Amino acid sequence: MGSKLLKYYQDNHGQLICKIDINDLFASGKEKKVFFNKKDFFLNSDENNKMIYKINNDCIEYRSEELIPKMIDDRPVLLFVLGNPASHSINSEMFFSFEANNKEHRFWKKIIRESGIKLSLSDICSSSSQKMSLEEQNTIRKKKILQLDYESPFRIGLSVFHSMPSGASGKWSGVAGIHKLLGIQALRRLEQEEKKRALETIETFITGKGAVVVFQKNAWENLKSDGDPDYEKKVVDREGLRGTVCNRNIDLICLPPTRLSGPCSAILASLTEKYKQ
């Protein structure tokens, strides 16, 4: 699926396999040359990148992630759309697979657990005799989410706005790292195709009550409706933002970045309370 610039399909492991046409991405030979001068610095910035990316003169191929259950039930839907994937999570084949020192990620440990969304996966992923490894926990989480086999007021899906992965820390990390690699003009061209992909996922997954939840400026600015507020960090960090998805009858919520787990959890709880009623 997709366009000539960005093509993608889902493999048997539930990951997106993506291909970007380099000649469509860059408008000039100069842009393309600058990209290739940066390419190796980006690939070397995280040990997982070289296992994810294949880059030649014609295209950028890589693995990305999306976790959208095909099963349905009567619960309202929350679709979490993250900025872009962390490279180590792609190789672990699960969103938020772990963070520093191989610990359970704050997204599961604090944001989901303390916001009232629950998912009950922490109970599933432990036993009375010993704690499961993070790899085992991630495998179970993925299976339970796809099978809707968890207690929560919501049916959950996870996706990303920018499909290109990057490291979790350092100057090449996050969406800023993708910006640094591609340059602003190429990033904007790519965002138009990523927006189409994201909207396709949103319209397929959210067919009734629920909302899209984003955590990052680019995702908000591309998915918000014309009359919705612009992204302002102080406001987002204090109370979040609320709008609708691209002039559609689908709610859009913007939260602080996941590293601000306390405010993120509290604002998520506040802005999703109405869907439980």
Q: Residues 144-187: pLDDT tens digits?
A: 999 999 989 999 999 999 999 999 899 999 999 999 999 999 99
The per-residue pLDDT for 121 is 56
How far CA 184 is from CA of 166, 191, 195, in Å, comes to 17, 10, 16
The per-residue pLDDT for 127 is 47
Q: What is the mean pLDDT of the chain?
A: 91
How many Å apart are CA 95 and CA 92, to the nearest integer? 8
Evaluate whether the domain defined by 77-163+192-276 bears CATH number 3.40.470: yes
Question: Tokens 């099978």 correspond to what residue?
Answer: 147
The amino acid present at 42, given as its one-letter code, is F
* CB contact at 8 A, 208 and 76: yes
How many Å apart are CA 93 and CA 146, to the nearest integer? 13
Q: Which two tokens stand for residue 158?
A: 């996870």
- Report the candidate in 246, 269, 245 with the shortest Cα–Cα distance to residue 256: 269
- Count helices and strands (H / E) in the chain: 13, 9
pLDDT in tens, 104-136: 888 988 898 889 887 765 555 554 435 777 788
Domain ranges of the chain: 77-163+192-276
For residue 127, how many C-alpha atoms fall within 13 Å in the half-sphere facing its CB?
8
